């Protein structure tokens, strides 16, 4: 009788332990899947400025973060720093202004339902040439280049200290103009290279509905 009760207690303890481990794995995997497959977090030295303090409408990228490496942006002339960027989510385009004149405009892919791109006033905080991409779940590294999920350039303007949102290229040009991302703004590679040349750290970014 005593032996049966001892075995029953062992079985019960094993059941509780298995259930606890299962819940922990499920929670970790669920958080991991929330990371944007095309967001970046620099693995090397960061050059960042704080945003304007306007808080996004919801929390983004609360799970594991993608990682990117790449050459830091070169110094830029004062003339280029005078430009500002306006994102119009309603027509899925980004506009580059100098004073009150539009000097460039490009189509963009925006955040999909449930992962909408945050609106508000921000500043460019981080820039990279040819970012490589590390898969946030598998850890697989995709080398820099036109076929990288991040394309040829990264221009980050929002972060919570762990996850990031910004403009980046994509090898899948057919998704540009659609709500396909987890908050980032996807651009055709030639377009994101052109945008990169207009902005610098601290450039104002206005995201409007």
What structural domains does the chain harbor? 33-208 (2.40.440.10)
Q: What percent of the chain has pLDDT over 90?
A: 49
The pair of structure tokens assigned to 164 is 């990031």
Structure tokens at 153: 């350039």
Q: Which residue did the predictor score with more confidence, 182 or 96?
A: 96
Q: Indicate which residue of 38, 164, 168, 182 is catalytic.
A: 168
Task: Please compute the mean of the pLDDT values over residues 12-41 and round it to a whole number.
Answer: 45
pLDDT > 60? residue 64 = no
Averaged pLDDT score across all residues of the chain: 74
Structure tokens at 148: 């990288």
150 pLDDT more than 90: yes
The dihedral formed by the CA atoms of 164, 165, 168 and 174, expressed in degrees to the nearest 10? 130
Residue 15 appears among annotated catalytic residues: no
pLDDT tens-digit profile of 86-137?
Answer: 999 999 999 999 999 999 999 999 999 999 999 999 999 999 999 988 877 7
Cα-based distances in Å from 145 to 101, 109, 128: 33, 20, 12
Helix (H, G, I), strand (E, B) or coil at 35: coil
Q: What are 138's strand-pairing partners?
A: none
pTM metric for this prediction: 0.67
């Amino acid at each position: 009788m005593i032996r049966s009760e001892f075995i029953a207690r062992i079985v019960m303890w094993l059941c509780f332990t298995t259930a606890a481990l299962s819940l922990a794995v499920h929670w970790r995997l669920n958080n991991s899947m929330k990371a944007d497959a095309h967001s970046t977090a620099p693995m090397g030295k960061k050059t960042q400025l704080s945003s304007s303090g306007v808080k996004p409408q919801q929390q983004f990228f609360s799970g594991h973060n993608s990682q990117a490496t790449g050459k830091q942006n070169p110094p830029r002339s004062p003339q280029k720093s005078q430009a500002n960027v306006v994102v119009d989510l309603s027509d899925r385009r980004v506009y580059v202004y100098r004073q009150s004149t539009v000097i460039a405009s490009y189509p963009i892919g925006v955040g999909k339902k449930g992962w909408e791109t945050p609106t508000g006033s921000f500043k460019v905080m981080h820039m990279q040439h040819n970012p490589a991409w590390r898969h946030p779940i598998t850890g697989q590294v995709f080398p820099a280049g036109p076929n990288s999920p991040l394309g040829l350039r990264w221009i980050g303007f929002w972060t919570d200290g762990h996850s990031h949102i910004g403009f980046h290229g994509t090898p899948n040009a057919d998704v540009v103009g659609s709500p396909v991302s987890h908050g980032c703004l996807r651009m055709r590679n030639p377009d994101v290279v052109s945008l990169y040349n207009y902005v610098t750290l601290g450039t104002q970014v206005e995201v409007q509905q």
